[in-house]
Structure 1
Amino acid sequence: MKISRLTSSILTSAFFLSASQAATISPPMWWVGMQESHLQLLIEEEGVGDGTVTTNFPGVVVKGIVPSSNDNTLFVDLEISDDAKPGKVSLTIEKKSGDTITLDYALHARQTGSANRQGFDSKDTIYLLTPDRFSNGDTQNDDVDGYKDALDRENKGGRHGGDIQGIINHLDYLSKMGFTQIWSMPLLENAMDSYSYHGYAITDYYNIDPRYGSNADYKKLSVAAKEQGIGLIMDMVLNHIGGNHPWMNTAPDENWIHHDGEFSATTHIRETMHDIHGTQFDKAAFNDGWFVPSMPDLNQSNPKLATYLIQNAVWWVEYAGLSGIRVDTYSYSDKAFLSAWTHRLMTEYPQLNIVGEEWSVNPVITSYWQHGTLRKDGYKSWLPGVMDFPLQAALVTALNEDEGWGTGLKKLFEVLAGDFIYGDPSKLVIFADNHDMSRIYTQLGHDIDKWKMAMTTILTTRGIPQIFYGTELLMQNPGTEDHGIIRSNFPGGWKGDSSNGFTGQGLTPEQTNAQQFIRNLLQLRQSYPTLFSGEMTHFVPFDGTYVYFRHDAETQQQLMVVLNKGDEKALDIYRFDERLSTFSQIQRVDAKGFATKALDSTLEVPANQATVWLISK
């Protein structure tokens, strides 16, 4: 069965507007009792520009009309008082022509506790998935009339049919594994001619792509995930849109798209944003340039566009009950806008978490954007965390290099020793790989021992760990860097798959072992949450071995993690007396079957392994 693009749009919008309304309003509905009383509506209707707007709804006042260069768009500033009640606001618009239209706009009540929602933190573990490649739960939405990029499972860059229902169907798997947050690559409409599956070329900021489901399905996912103890993180794109976005035909206002809608490539040289010797020319070349011709770059310095994007983010947090946001290509957007965007969200939701993608392996660059970091230029940022690309690069280098005075595990130690540069290193999102790079198993030469050391590190060091879907099954991409291969289908997500990662059927012994290895570490994290949200103490690597501790001042336990790239050896416990002098017992806890024993003068650690030990009084 196929559904049409038009039918999908009507079904998605029915909750917000009466069927008789031809005009579109963004945001499509709102809530009373928000921290910010100002709301700017974008109304799109032929000849509506420069119209006048009135309403007699109690507690809602039309504060003014913001001029636009487009005769078919109207920006209306509303003030929603604390006394306003949920209901249907009638907006009467008198056009320049003298014609009058009346639009109904819904104001809803907020969910109890919405403002104080708890965001993801260091006690959580995030599961990053590519929705098109995870599981096909509803074959009826595989193809939708009006969308050129149709189902083609044989095409590595095509759509494969995964959807929101597929994620819902396997929430129990994620919960039993021990994951507590889901970050899905974007699910909003991508009506592009090809390569639309990745989601980063958005063509509608307020509607889920119908090939994934509907807005109601996304809310259903959020509710069902919460019932399993799992939060939902939305991947937001502020920097650019898809080339087929309606704005490319008619923008709501002038200067909406950089370079007047004509392609001009970004330099990708993010250092220009911080260079005290740099030029405005080079900064603009980075900030205002486009990624590719199919992704037009948005001009967030336009105040109406900035407000649109800010309200859109608030809308999705409120509507879908999000626990957090991941922001794509964070530093490419206008700096002043990013300050305003993060400030509004963190004011509205003080416990929410947001992580920005700044793909630099230089901590000086990544740390700049985090709240609490000392900055020479006085820039104000309310961004809680950033993706820790420096740690990811150091981890791979540390495990692949031979051990030497300044090589191997010393590289991992050095990047963690530099944590003083961050406002709060515990809020960094850490990862061994993600959707834009080779699988970690491939990066480590398909060496299972190195893979286990990498995953142990990510799941036990400071920060908030993120695991890319299929990592637990040793998914890999030998001989290619193609993203379509890196983002391959999760086994068992499609009817007729020869193996099933959800049930274990048909997995190789190596995959089963790896899956259980991840499950053990995730269960360990859930068993000792205060340790993983506590402090970290590490010792300089010595003789191919790196040792660090996780501990909390209020508990009588701590974890000792040993990365040993060398032969089996007996560690001299006295070297770690600073952490161990008041403790007497030790038990290995990263695998089952190890008994508690006395903490002696030496500790036997196996060759080429990471081991995790519970230390107690």
Structure 2
Amino acid sequence: MRIVIAIIFICFHLVSFAQVNRIEPLNWWVGMNNPNVQLLIYGDNISKKTVEIDYTGVELINQHKVENPNYLFLDLKILPTAKAGNISLLFKEQGKKTFVKKYELKSRDESKRALQGVNASDFVYLIMPDRFANGDPSNDRVKGMADQSLNRDSMYYRHGGDLQGIINNLDYLQELGVTALWLNPVLTNDQPLTSYHGYANTESYHVDPRFGGNEAYRKLIDACHKRGIKMIQDLVHNHFGTEHYTIKDMPMKDWVHQWNTFTKTNYREQVHMDPYAAKSDKDIMLNGWFDRHMPDMNQDNPYVKNYITQSHIWWIEEMGIDGFRLDTYAYNDLAFMSEWGKAIDAEYPKMTYFGETWVHGIPNQAYFTKSNRINQGIDTKLQGVTDFQAYWAINEALNGKFGWMDGVVRLYNTFASDFMYEDPYQNVVFLDNHDLSRYLSVVGEDFNKYKSGIAWLLTTRGIPQLYYGTEILMKNFASPDGLVREDFPGGWSKDKANKFNRAGRSEKENEAFDYVKTLANYRKNNPVLQDGKMLQYIPEDGIYVYFRYDDHKRIMIVMNSKQEAINLQTKRFQEGIAGRQQAINIVTGAQINSLEELAIPAVSTQVFELKK
């Protein structure tokens, strides 16, 4: 009889507890600057319940029932007197047995903020986790997930790369001079197709189990931090994936932007700043869907705003994230992004974030940055951008023709407009990424041009970012984009060559690797190339000269975009040379005993440390 009663008791409790399928955030902390947190409770007809709590220092301010009875939102206030522990949430309903769910309050770990803040001292390495290295083949497929594809011969299927694969190759990254990792989104993407890239997340608090889950992410971050390497998390405010549970069973109709028929965004950022923009055009830009499987989140909805913002705070506090990259920034509601920025800054004053601004024109790009400098009418709080204007300018400098507005002149003009930013040194400069043709292909596989651009990347102002494989001459055009998301050779046990090792690379690949390594590590060890001031000269006849300097060092950079070598007379550059008489070529180590004339090879960027 006792056995039967026990079974009935267990079954009853299983049924009772099953009424709550989720509580998000997964946990919270005492001692936060903002004492308020909103819990999302999800379960079958959970809104029929009322909730009570009895925990010293925690008050239940309000509970919100919304259109969908499967949701209940609880507003908690965590007072300074609250201690870490488990809050008992008592779910009551007349005529039904009360049941309890525990909700954990943790103590904050201040040590996780030791590296926080990505800035111009960093060298960022961008990795698409599915395509970098497979460190744990056991998670290549996960039972129950929608996308069971696994085929390295297909650019659209999953290839099996994971976070353990990155951990296994941290020595390689550290040797290269990397100080920060930016991973394409790692949150669970349980979409049925092309789930590998991560930009249509279906969970907000869980790393994709095919990458190793939350524990692998924690392990990677801890391993990076022990080496002084920072972690940048890629966030998508604008949209979720259609398989996200809050999309499949929405709390309310206006959780996402709804249209009578499917409406894509018009992808025209100009409506943000256009004083004559039609409201209908602006609505489509901001509220249209990025794609059919990427519903556009309604950032006017207070529940949506809380849900998104709290999830991002959770990742910082739980994992020790050091910086954020904000995807599709121009498609967001800027008033919400300003609120979001204030919330992040209030908790983490050292935290930094930069937005993807794939826009055309320097004013358009600067418009999205902080401080309302160019009549935006709002302070977005965005500290930096992915500097597409500098990207197009360096391409023009390396591939363009000579002229008043062409070639290196465009590079000069781009930086001459830095007055539009509060801090242009927070902009991220790059030569390629996961959406763009690989840099080596863009410069026609010309190795001299390749080195010239690398030298610019690691000596110009801003935060340099390198896309995985650029240092070993990976190539291809982004047509389609899967072609630039190939596997890193050696990341899989059956690969014919392991290019993580010197012996597995060709002579030319080692030359490229060494070139990046030399400049990146020089930059890492010399603050003058991090936050030193910049002085540039108007280009003449395809020659662009600029300096980086501080109270201790002066670096002279000469970009020769011509097909012939030159002997550069330096009299014009005396302000930058500032009385120095000699120099060392940073890459070759060659000593230069006179600065009156410099021999500059064709199609090259030479980097000199000036000596008195």
Q: Output the TM-score relative to the length of structure 2.
A: 0.94
Report if the CA contact (8 A) 1:548-1:561 is conserved.
yes
- Which residue does the alignment assign to 1:5? none
Cα distance change, pair 375–82 in 1 and its aligned pair in 2 (3 A): farther
Match of 1:562 in 2: 558
SS in structure 2 at match of 1:25: strand
Selected match of 2:26 from 21, 25, 28: 28
Moved beyond 6 Å, runs of 4+: 18-21
| Residue 518 (structure 1) aligned to one of 505, 516, 519 | 516
Q: What is the correspondence of 1:198-597 to structure 2 with a 5 Å cutoff?
A: 198-259=197-258, 263-477=262-476, 481-552=479-550, 554-555=551-552, 557-566=553-562, 567-591=564-588, 593-595=589-591, 597=592
For residues 268 and 533 of structure 2, the distance between their equivalents in structure 1, rounded to whole angstroms, comes to 35
Q: Whole-Å Cα distance in 1 between the matches of residues 177 and 580 of structure 2? A: 29
For residues 599 and 153 of structure 2, what CA distance do their matches in structure 1 show?
A: 50
Q: Could you tell me how far apart the structure 2 residues matched to 1:21 and 1:226 are?
A: 40
- After superposition, give the CA deviation of every residue in 1:509-530 in whole Å (9 maximum; x if it has no partner): 2211111110011111112124
Of the structure 1 ranges 402-411 and 189-198, higher mean CA displacement relative to structure 2 is found in 402-411
Q: Report the CA distance between 1:101 and its aligned residue.
A: 2.3
CA contact (8 A) 1:524 1:590 kept: no
**Pairwise CA distance, 1:86:** 0.8
Equivalent-residue separation in structure 2 for 1:337 and 1:241 (angstroms)? 16
| 1:116/1:351 contact within 8 Å kept | no
Partner residue, 1:606: 601
Change beyond 3 A, Cα 1:20–1:45: closer
Shift of residue 599, structure 1, vs aligned partner: 3.4
- The amino acid across from 1:161 in the alignment is G
**Residue 44 of structure 1 aligns to which amino acid in structure 2?**
Y
CA distance in 1, matches of 2:248, 2:472: 45
Closer, same or farther: CA 610–26 of 1 in aligned 2, 3 Å: same
Change (3 A) 1:139 1:366: same
The one-letter code matched in structure 2 to 1:124 is D
Q: CA deviation at 1:537?
A: 0.5
CA deviation after TM superposition for structure 1 residue 455, in Å: 1.2
8 Å contact from structure 1 (residues 359, 389) kept in 2:
yes
1:14 aligned residue: none
- 2:74 is matched with 76
Q: Distance in 1 between matches of 2:260 and 2:78?
A: 35
- Partner deviation per Cα, 1:155-200 (whole Å, 9 max, x = no partner): 1111000001001111111011100000000111111111110000
Task: Give the percent of matched residue pairs that are identical in Structure 1 and Structure 2.
Answer: 38
State which drifts further: 503-512 or 207-216: 503-512
RMSD between aligned residues: 1.8
Match of 1:133 in 2: 131
Residues 125 and 180, structure 1, Cα contact 8 Å, conserved in 2 = yes
Moved more, 565-574 or 206-215: 565-574
Deviates more, 1:282-291 or 1:373-382: 373-382
Query: Displacement, 1:118?
Result: 2.6
Bigger Cα displacement from structure 2, 353-362 vs 366-375: 366-375
Amino acid at match of 2:519: L
Deviation at 1:447, TM superposition (A): 1.0
CA shift, 1:50, in A, is 5.5
The alpha-carbon deviation at position 582 of structure 1 amounts to 2.4
Tell whether the 8 Å contact from 1:373 to 1:423 is kept in structure 2 after alignment: no
Deviations 1:520-576 (Å, cap 9, x if unpaired)? 111111121243212111001112211100111x32x11111111222222111110
C-alpha separation in 2, matches of 1:261 and 1:176: 54
Q: What is the CA distance between 1:262 and its match in structure 2?
A: 5.9
Q: In the alignment, what sits opposite 1:3?
A: none
Q: 2:9 maps to what in 1?
A: none
Change (3 A) 1:178 1:96: farther
Say if 2:45 and 2:69, in contact at 8 Å, map to a contact too.
yes
Task: Tell me, yes or no, if the aligned pair for 2:19 and 2:43 is still in contact at 8 Å.
Answer: no
Correspondence for 1:192: 191
Q: Secondary structure at the match of 1:540?
A: coil
Amino acid in structure 2 at the alignment position of 1:144: V
Distance 1:97 1:259, change over 3 A: farther
Question: Do the aligned residues in 2 keep the contact of 1:117 with 1:349 (CA within 8 Å)?
Answer: no
Query: Take 2:595 and 2:89, find their aligned partners in 1: how far apart are those partners?
Result: 77
Evaluate the alpha carbon distance shift between residue 95 and residue 405 of structure 1 in structure 2; reply closer, same or farther with a 3 A threshold.
same
Structure 2: give runs of 5+ residues left out of the alignment: 1-15
- Partner-residue secondary structure (3-state), 2:497: coil
Cα pair distance change 1:373/1:467, threshold 3 Å: farther
Cα deviation, residue 279, structure 1 = 2.2
Range 515-524 or range 368-377, more displaced:
368-377
How far apart, in 1, do the equivalents of 2:190 and 2:44 lie?
A: 23
The yes-or-no answer on 1:154 pairing with 2:116 is: no
Partner of 2:120: 122
Bigger shift: 160-169 or 95-104?
95-104
Shift of 1:467: 0.3
Deviation at 1:48, TM superposition (A): 1.6
1:103 deviates by 1.0
Please state how far the C-alpha of 1:309 moved relative to its aligned partner.
0.2
More deviation in 316-325 or 364-373?
A: 364-373
Q: Is the 8 A contact 2:112 2:319 kept in 1?
A: no
Q: CA deviation at 1:411?
A: 1.0
Instruction: Kindly provide the CA deviation profile for residues 12-66 of structure 1, in whole angstroms up to 9, marking residues without a partner as x.
Output: xxxxxx9988431000101111111100000112222163222111111101113
- Partner Cα separation in structure 2 for residue 65 and residue 166 of structure 1: 44
The Cα shift of 1:90 comes to 0.7
- How many residues were matched structurally? 595
Q: Which amino acid aligns with 2:586?
A: V
Residue 203 (structure 1) shift: 0.6
Go from structure 1 to structure 2 and tell me whether the alpha carbon gap of 1:262 and 1:98 turns closer, same or farther (over 3 Å shift).
farther
Q: Which amino acid aligns with 1:140?
A: S
In the TM superposition, what is the alpha-carbon distance from 1:154 to its structure 2 partner? 1.5
Kindly provide the amino acid, as one letter, of the partner of residue 559 in structure 1. I
Contact kept in structure 1, 2:19 and 2:46, CA below 8 Å: no
TM-score, structure 1 as length reference: 0.93
- 1:172 and 2:168 are equivalent in the alignment: no
**Residue in 2 that maps onto 1:53:** 51
- Partner residue, 1:183: 182
Paired AA for residue 70 in structure 2: N
